[in-house]
Structure 1
Amino acid sequence: MEKYLPYAVLFLRIALALTILAFVADKMGYLTQAGTAPILWGDWDIYTKQLQAILPFIPGNISEKLAIVATLLEIILALMLLFGVKVRWAAIGTGIYALLVAIVAGYGVGINAILHYSLLVISAASFLLACCPIYKFTLHGIKKRSTYHPY
C-alpha cells in the first residue's frame, strides 16, 4: 500500500489546489453569472459586500483590503500546492486559512455555510497533507530524481 502513497499525495495536492482556485475564479466572476445555483459569489463586488456583512465590525476600506489579501493568499497557497513548492508549509497555511474562514463564516452566516462549502473538509485534508511523510512529485523531488522526505 505504501507504494501508492505518492500518487495519493499528488492527487490530494491537485484537488486542494483546484478547489481553492475555483473559489478565486468564483470571486472574480470567471465561473458563471452571479446568482446561478452552484456559484457562491459570482463577482468581486458581491464577495466584498458579503465579507463586509459577515464582518460588520471592520471598516469598509479595511474590508476591501482584507478581501484582496485573502484572495492573494489563496492564489499563492493554491499555486504552491499545484506546483509542489514547499508543500508542507502550503498545506499548513491552507489548513489554518480554511479553518479561520470556517470560524468567521460560522460566526457571520451560520453552520450551514461551513458544511455546504466543505471548509472543514478542506482544512482537514490540508492538515492531512502536511502530515504525509513523502512528497515524490514536487519540484524538489523532480530536481533530485528522488523522493522528498521532509521529516
Structure 2
Amino acid sequence: MKNSFKVPQLLLRIALGIGFLTTVSDRSGFLGPMGTNNIEWGNWDNFIKYTATLLPFLDKPAVNVMGSIATLAEAILGILLLIGYKTRLAAIGSCLLTLTFAIAMTLFLGIKAPINFAVFSTCTGSLLLATIPIYNWSIDNLIQPLIN
C-alpha cells in the first residue's frame, strides 16, 4: 500500500507535539511572565486559577493535582508525538485529553473558550493522526522492522 501521508502525518505530529509542549512551557513560566505577548498564564499559580474555573467542584489541593496530571500528560504526549514513539497511542491519548478539556471548557466557560484555544482542532487532528497506517520519520517506523 502506498503511503500518501508521509509529510502530512509528520507535520501534524510536530504541530500537536509543539502545541502541547508550548502550553506546558507557558504555565511553567519558561516563555515569559503574564502580560508578555502571547503568554496565557506565565506561571503555575495563574494556570491553577484557570484550572479551578474548569473544575469548580474541586477544592484547591485537588485542582493542583488535576493541573499537575494534565501538565504531565501534555508533556509526555508532546514528546511522544514529536519523536514519533507509540504515536497511535499518543494520538488517542491526545484526543481523549483534549476532548476532556473541550467538555470542561464548554460547560464552565462557554463554547468560545475551546474554540479560542483550538481545542476542537487539536482533538480532531489527534483522532485523524491515530488513523494513519504508517508514521514515517518516527521511532515507530524505525523499530517496526525489528519487531516483525
Query: What is the TM-score when the length of structure 1 is the normalising length?
Result: 0.89
In the TM superposition, 1:37-48 aligns within 5 A as: 37-48=37-48
Is 1:141 the counterpart of 2:141? The answer is yes
Match of 1:16 in 2: 16
Shift of 1:105: 1.1
Between 126-135 and 48-57, the greater mean CA deviation after superposition: 48-57
Q: How does 1:113-128 map to 2 (within 5 A)?
A: 113-128=113-128
Moved more, 37-46 or 62-71: 37-46
Counterpart Cα distance in 2 of 1:7 and 1:118? 22
The 2-side partners of 1:104 and 1:116 are apart by: 14
Q: Which amino acid in the other structure matches residue 103 of structure 1?
A: I
Uncovered stretches (5+) of structure 2, i.e. residues with no partner:
none
Bigger relative contact order (CA 8 A; separation at least 6):
2
State the secondary structure of the residue aligned to 1:85: coil
| Equivalent residue number for residue 32 of structure 1 | 32
Q: Secondary structure at the match of 1:133?
A: coil
RMSD over equivalenced CA pairs, Å: 1.8
Single out whichever of 136-145 and 117-126 deviates more from structure 2.
136-145
Per-residue CA shift, 1:26-47, capped at 9, x if unaligned? Answer: 1111122213342221110001
1:91 equivalent to 2:91? Answer: yes
Instruction: Figure out how many residues of one structure are paired with residues of the other and give that number.
Output: 146
Mapped pair 1:76 → 2:67: no
2:112 maps to 112
